[in-house]
Structure 1
């Protein structure tokens, strides 16, 4: 009865057309045992942000709701006392579009086979939690592990318990056994991820003068970028090249360029957008080329090739992919970098309306033009980038490349 009461309230508040679907929605949530989720959704009516979210989702269109079960909600006491956090958290649990692989009433989220990650765009777009390019909403990533679909970037495994499609609406509901955590800043991601303590220590502990005359860490400067893809060398990768680092000691230009050649700035490039033969442009203006074979996916910068050993580590403003080598590439092309960034900026405006699986063939990627450097194909043009003025002036101010040696 309580569940019916709250669903009827939502129907009354948001649209007459929804009222005729109230019974179907109630039956579906009841069958899935989602009374706590229904109560949380009803609580959103007390905030303008919550009303806007519910109005959008319930007024029509295709959406996939990742609904935490009652046990999951019982472990999240903080949500009950913070309506703003509740709105943003639930927004992160609503995917834009349908991800069904069939027309049956019971199904699992579609999961890509190569790479074995699927990326979808959520409804979370609060600038307090998301600063992606083009004002894009935050992404959710999931994969298949031991025949079970689980969500990535979570402290504990969260998987789908069951699912249903609500007839007469555009809603697909997936019951999950946990509450998804919103991705934190990139520096926090690196500090907490496996095998990235060396680069996290470098970025988060090295203070440099910034463009406004104050000192800041490299990590905070990266956090300030809107849309960034970082190919982060693993701890063992830093150790393996430690003998080569003194050669670059004191060379500020070389240090800046090496760091930029690990970054695509202005674009968040998920693994699902990287295909065999993909080409992107680094923040230094150099090509990043990709090859995928039976042993994995590899990225090349200059004369160095690295294997991507961990992908789709989501952050507030982008994504991290961990690689097994350091790109000691000191080449740069400022013209190519500028052209690539302009192309990325143009393409980013289309991300705000992106629905369904994010892939190399998505309209936002395929419709933009390639940069003058030749990077980008019909599947990924426009994601190349250049480092921003703030980022450039701050990093160039680093006094010595020797800081790498402190953390390896």
Structure 2
């Protein structure tokens, strides 16, 4: 029996399987047409078979063995080059699990062409199942409503700067989602990396997680990793607070008319007290003047430093927007800011990062320090305050669609996995630039 490859008129190939002719009746059995593998697999298979034949021949012939030693490494390099030189579009089209992604990219030919021309990138490619789940969520409304600007921003957020075959735990990797539209993070919005039990996950806005599935696929400009969920573009501070049930903080920002400030500052680290923290000082809040409330809230914001947990060092002093400093303490029990403990780290937002803390900070008690030996965090910054039965500042605040865990993330370097994209709303634009400039600037930066 022999295999014969034949190309169709459309450029695809097929395999013909021919049986030996029947000598008894003189009738030759008909040829059976079978589906062929993609052309690049055929090239790979033939080249590999040739290398194996050469190796076997060299083992028997000393002269041939010398020739094989001199030229074999070049053949392997050439073979690898053939496979790796595939265009991105070809790799995606050959992956049946990514047909939905291929379809949507096909709706944006200029975007896809630019993406295919980039070098040194990593594409996080949602599988068909991931796309289906996303389309059935509120966050997937952009695809259903054909919001061109947001769709391209979403695709840009799935492209990492750099070629990554594996990932370092706790890393924050910049993407091609660039300022000023949908993000105010210098250098581009990031995704977080969390490795556990030999599995790699990425977390994005609203703590949404996506795990790597399958093996990496090389292409001429980098590598593709399939993921089982669509990443969520990080939203602004106020919307993130509402969505994750940090409603007291969201209401306090509204009461102090600081929503616009919190949402539009560039490169921020925000320490957001949870609802229990605000309730714990409930007796002190009604007596605050607007100036005092503003000062307290500004004391929770650092501008000019996006302090992901991996970058928070023990003993670091950071100046807040209010003007006074906060002190970072890092030990075996966790991360503290003054006397408050970080209970959920690295919540990505449009203009930086949020760390959820278990106490409200007080600019008039900046010397309050952490007490790692206590079961709770250090002494409350508001001495004499007592708790309230109701959560303050929540009147009129929209009902959250999800919530965050009260425990700290593993190692205080990765966000909680208690949230998914199911209840996520659409991210808000942070600037007024046209969508074309969003990806164009990223493409220019990647190819300089």
Corresponding position of 1:282: 320
Pair 1:297–1:43, CA change in 2 (3 A): same
Deviations 1:318-362 (A, max 9, x none): 221101111122379xxxxxxxxxxxxxxxxxxxxxxxxxxxxxx
Contact 1:3 1:26 in 2 (8 A): no
* Structure 2 counterpart of 1:68, from 120, 126, 129: 126
Contact 2:117 2:221 in 1 (8 A): no
Give the structure-1-normalised TM-score: 0.61
For 1:126-205, list aligned pairs within 5 A. Answer: 127-132=180-185, 134=186, 136-144=187-195, 148-152=199-203, 153-154=205-206, 157-166=209-218, 169-194=220-245, 196-204=246-254
Corresponding position of 2:282: 242
> How far did 1:147 drift?
5.4
Give the whole-Å Cα distance in 2 for the aligned partners of 1:405 and 1:299.
22
2:366 aligned with 1:329: no
For 1:187-266, list aligned pairs within 5 A. Answer: 187-194=238-245, 196-204=246-254, 206=255, 217-245=257-285, 249-250=288-289, 252-266=290-304
For 1:302-317, list aligned pairs within 5 A. Answer: 305-317=339-351
Corresponding position of 1:34: 98
Give the whole-Å Cα distance in 2 for the aligned partners of 1:82 and 1:291.
44
Contact 1:286 1:331 in 2 (8 A): no
> How far did 1:154 drift?
4.8
Give the whole-Å Cα distance in 2 for the aligned partners of 1:69 and 1:97.
21
> How far did 1:254 drift?
3.4
Give structure 2 stretches of 5+ with no counterpart. 1-7, 13-37, 40-80, 367-390, 396-448
Give the whole-Å Cα distance in 2 for the aligned partners of 1:233 and 1:23.
48
Give structure 1 stretches of 5+ with no counterpart. 9-16, 102-108, 113-117, 209-216, 333-403
> How far did 1:121 drift?
0.8
Give the whole-Å Cα distance in 1 for the aligned partners of 2:330 and 2:217.
36
Give the structure-2-normalised TM-score: 0.56
Pair 1:287–1:144, CA change in 2 (3 A): same
Pair 1:111–1:3, CA change in 2 (3 A): farther
> How far did 1:232 drift?
0.5
SS at match of 1:180: coil
> How far did 1:79 drift?
2.2
Contact 1:231 1:262 in 2 (8 A): yes
Coordinate RMSD, CA, aligned: 3.6
Deviations 1:61-102 (A, max 9, x none): 32111001122233437426343332111101001113344x
Pair 1:171–1:299, CA change in 2 (3 A): same
SS at match of 1:33: helix
Pair 1:277–1:99, CA change in 2 (3 A): farther
2:123 aligned with 1:83: no
Give the whole-Å Cα distance in 2 for the aligned partners of 1:87 and 1:405.
39
Contact 1:99 1:110 in 2 (8 A): no
Give the whole-Å Cα distance in 1 for the aligned partners of 2:89 and 2:280.
57
Corresponding position of 1:373: none
Aligned residues: 289
Larger radius of gyration: 2
> How far did 1:149 drift?
2.8
Corresponding position of 2:174: 121
SS at match of 1:239: helix
Pair 1:183–1:20, CA change in 2 (3 A): closer
